[in-house]
Structure 1
């Protein structure tokens, strides 16, 4: 250990071993994530490593420490290991999360979704705009036309698709393929194939307190390990906002279309535009905007704009996409959602609007975005401080 050459060689061995230590939550090694802040090797073979965690109270610290010690003990030149812990700064944490997302996006995800399946993500900027209701009704409307439609309830925290579609039970499995089998519902001559966290948890104990990238892995399993079969459409009920699940799905299903659900409110419109920006940054096609709860229509046909007006058309114009339709307020919509009978199966103003939107989706011909000069995959450089 006297020469600088042998010291450098030992340092390289240490770094190679640390690259085998994977953050259990982020799914990448701690060197690549920039979590190794300092490596000091003293002449007598004492090794001091400084590791920065995403949070000071990270519950995975013990696992990381165990893995580090296990990997380093194979290096005969090291006689003792000391690990110092620190916390990433806000800027460093943002870079680490970006790096983790980037690495996740580079994985070759062998989903069970055929390339011939048209995938549609139903998204919103915030909760409470009726996104899940729109998802359930559009999927039902597509099945009414004799199509086979997969429904992926990716809103893992707030799953409601099972209730809205009136489908309850537990997901089964195929013993031969070892894959999950969706629950099915016949709608006329069409079929719905549904996967939701609601089919996996106890309804009375369904609170989930998972962080973003873990949620993303749960949704990923729904794409990789579910026996979807041949689908005409896959309709995805996205979580509200622009978190890790949304970005992960955008990477796993890059050929997807996105439909943004908003309301007449200008405030909701502004929030919804952020979701659209996320979609555009991942070069997803935004197929259009749906304005939900657009107005209340009386039996005499008179309209009352309870939540304002113009939010849907303004968002569509801002994005340069069509307003696919405006769905009026109708108490039957809420009743149908509670009873598992989507309103599109009935007659009325809301049903008419939804059926028109389904037809618009089927015949949509909005051109896809051409990702020229794409810089979305730029690698984030990481650095390690070395003290001899």
Structure 2
């Protein structure tokens, strides 16, 4: 099990960082919850500070009664669950490929082309020269081109959930222009089914924080509703103060040219810190922080497992858990260690215990 923590630093920047891989005997929700509890306790953290959780959609993770998300929500009701957006996109595309006969046949033929490249096959050559195959080739290129932009955006570890929601809507709008083909209605249906979480109260309220088009999406009532979803962060007195602060906040933001071109709440957070407005509008900034810490996708965890295949090679297949974790951290977040020179590392290693010679 890979663990990744997401937070907002003092400069308003989103930090999503791999922490460790934990060895678990099985993947039941009870075992995973016990491992997370042990991690929280060992690192002297607290569930009281947890505001979001993100996994794929398997039953042991998102089950309403015994899933891991439910067990964590029982400890911390404000740790809102987000089904990995990248996983939802993949499920929608795979479902369309299976349910549409023409698309399914196309991918079977494409797979045969890859597997039989260089081999002589008159039947295969005839199939890929047919009008149906060439038409579907260009069609799927267009579809996957549209969804690829969304897929690539979901790989960014500092991606924010409000921006992703906008990208999903843009993807659906682009596909609407191409819906004359019978498979498009199915694709749009699958996308709507998979991304139905974007219609939940939490995400609808979050959209009101967007600074796009001079804060066109701003909605005071929705932002007050958003604050009410976090009773541990906003007391009744805080809500009253927030109600007054929102009027001043939106008037100030719309009257300043340096805030008119912002494209995301991540940009908004950094700009507010730069101008020290996070101290002036502290309740609004808290809402922005809560929005930014919500995870979007599990791409960071997937990259951790990919890195593990590189680190734990056939020549190093007896690595212990601690050595593996230490190696993974250095490899995955190498940008953190890039500023440390070799002399400092050698001095640290030399001081850990006595050595026969000087390094």
TM-score past 0.5 threshold: no
Q: TM-score, normalised by structure 2?
A: 0.25
Structure richer in helix, relative to its length = 2
TM-score (norm 1): 0.24
Q: Which has the higher strand share?
A: 1
